Amino acid sequence: MRNRKTFALTTILVFLTLQIGTVQARRLKPEVWILGKPDWARGPSKQPEQVIPWGIERIRASDAWQTSTGILVQIAVLDTGVDKDHEDLNINIKWGISVVGDDESTKYRDWRDKNGHGTHVAGTIAAMYNDVGVVGVGYNISIYAIKVLSNSGFGSWQDLADGILWAIKGPDGIIDIDGDGMVAGDPDDDAAEVISMSLGGTSYSAEVEAAIKAAYDAGIVLVAAAGNEGDDGVTYPAKYDLVIAVSAIDKNDDIPSWSSKGPEVELAAPGVSVLSTVPHDKYEEYSGTSMACPHVSGTIGLMISKILAEGRDYTVEGIREILRATADDLAPSGWDSASGYGVVRADKAVAEA
């Protein structure tokens, strides 16, 4: 384990973000926090039979499964951890690590999700196609659970930067183990192909930007929640140019007032009353741009899975171009600051990949 006290950085504690983006710091200004929350009208509940959540239907993920189900792809979920024993996730959780605080640990007790947010995000990406619960965008996608936020959804920029670097290294802890210059998409390397970040903060971080640049250069596609700040703008890390910023829509394709708007918004995805997995084999509806982000992350996983299965190469910018070209444009016509290029379409994006 590596002690990081020498960084002399303070871990900032923040209160769970409300749907409209209000944050209450206990003593200090927050750095980074989760961008989704449970719908207060509904508590956790058992789901006796599998259903396809409305968001998965909206992006037409099931139509993409004819040519791609997510095999060969690892998506790093940087969040509050994941419940690796969940009945709808256990096969797809391949590795986990916690970088919260001064030490790094791969022990499950340290990266276990005691909040629910990270498990919910992971379920939208990769809940299994079985007889119970829900199904994710890509039910064969492998998940790297990288815990960068505390059990209360609090976090520091340094922990997020460390989590991004671990997504590049993967379980073996080595970047480009075969020295061929190829990292993401290389079967000999453990790097994630996609990094999904359903979190955000309002301040700039040089260390996070450097980590994002390293991941981008390694061929990893980075996706982040745009934020729940409404007209006040997109939060970091979605604000960085190398990251795909995702806003939210509801079942009527309307943009909620709390979904962050700005020139950085690239795509929109379902983010209101999204049903997914939460710890202890339960399921719950959450809302926030946190819930929109994994719909895009999972779609990218399906795209890359198809490309790798056919023995072809891809580029990060090539993936982004396809996503923009195949999105469902919302009014007003063309790109706009609320929905970007439109709602992600997994079926069209995979067909074009």
Residue in the structure block whose two tokens are 């199904």? 135
Catalytic annotation on 105?
A: no
Catalytic annotation on 113?
A: no
Pairing of strands 199-200, 194-197: unpaired
The set of residues, in sequence order, having a beta carbon less than 8 Å from that of 42 and lying 6+ positions away, is 284, 285
Compute the distance between CA of residue 247 and CA of residue 338 in angstroms, rounded to an integer.
7
Q: What is the helix, strand, coil percentage profile of the chain, to 5?
A: 25, 20, 55
The set of residues, in sequence order, having a beta carbon less than 8 Å from that of 32 and lying 6+ positions away, is 12, 14, 148, 149, 155, 156, 157, 160, 199, 200, 201, 236
Taking the CB of residue 321, how many other CB atoms lie within 10 A of it?
12
- Marked catalytic residue, from 98, 247, 290, 305: 290
3-state secondary structure (DSSP) of residue 248: strand
- Marked catalytic residue, from 110, 113, 117, 305: 117
- Marked catalytic residue, from 79, 190, 336, 347: 79
Q: Extract the tokens encoding 335.
A: 């790109």
Catalytic annotation on 290?
A: yes
> Residue 320: exposed, middle, or buried by beta-carbon count in 10 A (0-12, 13-18, 19+)?
middle
Report cis status (omega within 30 of 0) of the bond before 237: yes
Contact 324, 344 (CB under 8 A): no
CA separation, residue 182 to residues 193, 221, 228, 306, 315 (Å): 12, 14, 36, 18, 11
Query: Cα-flanking dihedrals φ and ψ of residue 59, to 5°?
Result: -90, 5
Contact 69, 140 (CB under 8 A): yes
Q: Which residues are catalytic?
A: 79, 117, 290
